[in-house]
Structure 1
Amino acid sequence: MTDGIELERDGEVARLTLRRPEKMNAISFGMWSAIPGIVADVERDPAVTVLVLTGAGTDFSAGADIGEFRDLRSSADGAATYDKAVEAAVAALASMRKPSVAMIRGNCIGGGCQLAVASDFRFAAEGSRFGITPSKLGIVYHFDSTRQLVSLVGPANARYFLLSGLLVDAVRAREMGLVNEVFPAGALEESTLDFVRTLGSRSQASIRGMNRIIEKIVAGQAEPDSEVDELRAAAVHGEDYAEGVAAFLERRPPNFTFR
């Protein structure tokens, strides 16, 4: 495993941990580069239903490791290579069929917030801080990450984050639409895992099909296409649909089998 990043599996849950607590989990080039392969492994693992992203210690992530920029982003070619690694990590997360949940403590800033926004859900502890800071570095933010941010918080709040570079607390982030839920710090882990267990109890055929359709809508697609039609037809003819209807009529919990 790449230094600074760790993947663990616990039953149906995979946990990707940014593990550089001495640097507030700043994301190195190697960590960015490792994320697509980790996500692909999670997607392929039939035992896993949900990916949880978090940070070791007191922070989610303070962002990209700026200390690398003088060496890795000092030329146009170097900047392009670095950006491709970031874009690939974001794209891998955003295109997952299995749901992803960012569990956030402390600082969630810059590239850390970029990873959180690329996830499907964001749960935060009280006292967490959020910000996206390209305007402090003379960087124009990545297009796909900007689109994802706008889809979450709207253009006015996206401008607030991107143009000002100011930080907001977890409560304000929830009001702006960036965060789904805010919990007391001591309750974050169990509250997040309770939601993860809820996701695991649902039809995975439904979850993955709907996640793909939402991805298409966020990307700007306005009408269904053949893939959407195929996803919906496969669901109607699948075992989960038959089980879901039977369980509802028999007033019992469903036993979904799709993996």
Structure 2
Amino acid sequence: MDFQAEAEIAPIRVDAVNGVATLTIDRPAKKNAMTAAMWSALINALRDVAADASCRVLVLRGEGNDFCAGADIAEFDTVRRDPETARAYEDLNARAFGALRELPIPTIAAIRGNCLGGGLGLAISCDLRLATADARFSIPAAKLGLAYPAESIRHVVWAAGPQLARFLIHTGQQITAAEAHQGGLLLDVVKSDHLDERVAALAATIAANAPLTHRASKRAINAVLADDEAMLEEAAAMGAATFASEDYAEGRRAFRERRQPVFRGR
């Protein structure tokens, strides 16, 4: 099956306004469950966002009442039928999660309804997560008889902590947004009719700040989580370069002039 070709018509769309890119999983009739072609389309969309210097923050959302119900189990008999196809599928998953984690700009998951399995993997791959009170989270792998990918479990532990990660993985049970927030998985829980407004305000605040600072800081945070000295050195070099940037000069000038800075990302 040519996932790359099918990705061209997969229901993934990106809109960008005022530095804020919004990536929408647009399959509400299936609770935004991800087909293999959609994972490929997501990777392609994130590649385009990364290449667009005007994009300063990304919002990931699902169309309708759900964030993402995870992988589309209906196609597992074809795309995940045995160890060989499962490895190829999990590699596709890992590349999608990695593309989101390694996106050089900050990312925000705006979560409603179901955030399950691979959908939770997408949310966890974002830097910040906000959810409505009706959101539900789970990793149902143990109920399907398959193992959640080991690389993905690493990030579940980072995001949720070992105790909540163990509960999610071993029980397969759903937890509420309040429980996810208490466990540290969410930045905040908001009323359903306030989510878009809250996410937009957060994204606008981030987009107004210095892009070079975001890139260096995100790289440093990822380096600390991965305990990767080479990545940390790279982040340090990126941070040092900000002191020679036009944006740093603009930031100091705006401070003296008592106005908001206008950053150009250079």
Shift of 1:230: 1.5
The 5 Å alignment of 1:244-259 reads: 244-258=251-265
Residue number among 131, 136, 146 corresponding to 1:129 in the alignment: 136
The 5 Å alignment of 1:70-85 reads: 70-85=77-92
> Structure 1's 57 and 238: CA in aligned 2 closer, same or farther, altered over 3 A?
same
Is there any run of 5+ residues in structure 2 with no aligned partner, and where?
Answer: 1-7
8 Å Cα contact 1:7/1:17 also seen in 2: yes
- The one-letter amino acid of 2:75's match is E
- Counterpart-to-counterpart distance in 1, 2:212 and 2:181: 29
- The one-letter amino acid of 1:202's match is N
The 5 Å alignment of 1:11-90 reads: 11-90=18-97
Counterpart for residue 215 of structure 1: 222
Deviations 1:206-225 (A, max 9, x none): 01110011111111225875
- Counterpart-to-counterpart distance in 2, 1:61 and 1:78: 23
Q: Match of 1:27, SS? A: coil
> Structure 1's 197 and 225: CA in aligned 2 closer, same or farther, altered over 3 A?
closer
8 Å Cα contact 2:220/2:236 also seen in 1: no
Comparing 130-139 with 207-216, greater Cα deviation is found at 130-139
Deviations 1:154-175 (A, max 9, x none): 1111101111111111111111
The 5 Å alignment of 1:163-178 reads: 163-178=170-185
Aligned residues: 259
Counterpart for residue 193 of structure 1: 200
- Counterpart-to-counterpart distance in 1, 2:230 and 2:23: 34
Task: Provide the TM-score with structure 2 as the length reference.
Answer: 0.92
Shift of 1:139: 2.1
- Counterpart-to-counterpart distance in 2, 1:204 and 1:168: 35
Q: Match of 2:162, SS? A: helix
Counterpart for residue 103 of structure 1: 110
Counterpart for residue 234 of structure 2: 227
- Give me the identity figure in percent: 37
Residue number among 158, 177, 181 corresponding to 1:151 in the alignment: 158
Is there any run of 5+ residues in structure 1 with no aligned partner, and where?
Answer: none
Shift of 1:252: 2.2
Shift of 1:251: 2.7
8 Å Cα contact 1:18/1:56 also seen in 2: yes
Counterpart for residue 16 of structure 2: 9
- Counterpart-to-counterpart distance in 1, 2:47 and 2:230: 28
Q: Match of 2:236, SS? A: helix
- Counterpart-to-counterpart distance in 1, 2:241 and 2:175: 43
8 Å Cα contact 2:107/2:127 also seen in 1: yes
CA RMSD across the alignment: 1.6
- The one-letter amino acid of 1:217's match is V
